[in-house]
Structure 1
């Protein structure tokens, strides 16, 4: 089984995924950097543009893995887990990491607008997408819920989290 753990930057994907024992974890951003799977730089954002075709080819034949990244929902997966976090918390976390105020605000607004969730549902359908609210939860609690999704103990639930009041 291939599981994608995705979400807006700052939702806790990496921290929670590092505690998963049920599957081997692939930190997709590290793979993209290490393998050079890029198509240039987005000058407006100062970020690398991933070559998702190259990523998919690299992933071909890799099963029984958990793929972690804000891009993970763009690759084939049996289950897609979208981590969600209140936009104000995302903004704070990203600024603490050294992100620019503009980047932190853009990511917070994306979270409020359900951008990653919408993309995940568009690619994988409502029967394969799970949302996990992470705002006030420990990484252990989030990891436990991810493992419940992997084990098949949860039903898909896209659309249960809303931060529209942030806007």
Structure 2
């Protein structure tokens, strides 16, 4: 089984997946991309590397029993895709606390309000494979428990249950 845990930066992906007690091999995709040099350039506007997703897919090809965590994880073939969601106002605070630039904070909050990653995940994987989890007021342990229920197959797919249109 392949599980992707994705979401806008700041939604709690890394924190929750680090708390998981699972037999799946947890791969923090951003670390893999950096450590293996799986990039095709640099985005000067965002101040970040551009991931070579073809190289990432090739690196993961044939691997099963993995959980891939990243804001890019939904772009990797997976059986189940967990999309973590967080209200944009809370997201802004989390990203500010991490020292992100104002431009990055604004871009990510707007992306979250517009369901960008959720829409991409549903488009790539279909409604029957996407599991949306609200993280705004949840402890990381509760988010990890929800992810574990997705892995176990005891949680039904759900997408489009969270709305942040009030932010817009």
TM-score bracket for the superposition, by shorter chain length: over 0.9
| Alignment partner, residue 92 of structure 2 | 91
Q: State the 1:41 CA deviation.
A: 0.9
Partner-residue secondary structure (3-state), 2:63:
coil
Q: State the 1:155 CA deviation.
A: 1.0
Q: How many residues align?
A: 167
| Alignment partner, residue 21 of structure 1 | 21
Alignment of 1:116 onto 2:117: yes
Q: State the 1:103 CA deviation.
A: 0.7
Partner-residue secondary structure (3-state), 2:106:
helix
Equivalent-residue separation in structure 2 for 1:56 and 1:21 (angstroms): 25
Partner-residue secondary structure (3-state), 1:34:
helix
Q: State the 1:102 CA deviation.
A: 1.2
**CA RMSD of superposed structures (Å):** 0.6
| Alignment partner, residue 4 of structure 1 | 4
**TM-score, with normalisation over the residues of structure 2?**
0.98
Q: State the 1:71 CA deviation.
A: 0.2
Structure 1 stretches of 4+ with a deviation exceeding 3 A read none
Q: State the 1:19 CA deviation.
A: 1.1
Equivalent-residue separation in structure 2 for 1:24 and 1:136 (angstroms): 28
Partner-residue secondary structure (3-state), 1:41:
strand
Equivalent-residue separation in structure 1 for 2:42 and 2:123 (angstroms): 25
| Alignment partner, residue 104 of structure 2 | 103
Equivalent-residue separation in structure 1 for 2:98 and 2:70 (angstroms): 17
Equivalent-residue separation in structure 1 for 2:45 and 2:82 (angstroms): 29
| Alignment partner, residue 76 of structure 1 | 77
Equivalent-residue separation in structure 2 for 1:72 and 1:166 (angstroms): 25
Equivalent-residue separation in structure 1 for 2:32 and 2:50 (angstroms): 13
Partner-residue secondary structure (3-state), 1:103:
helix
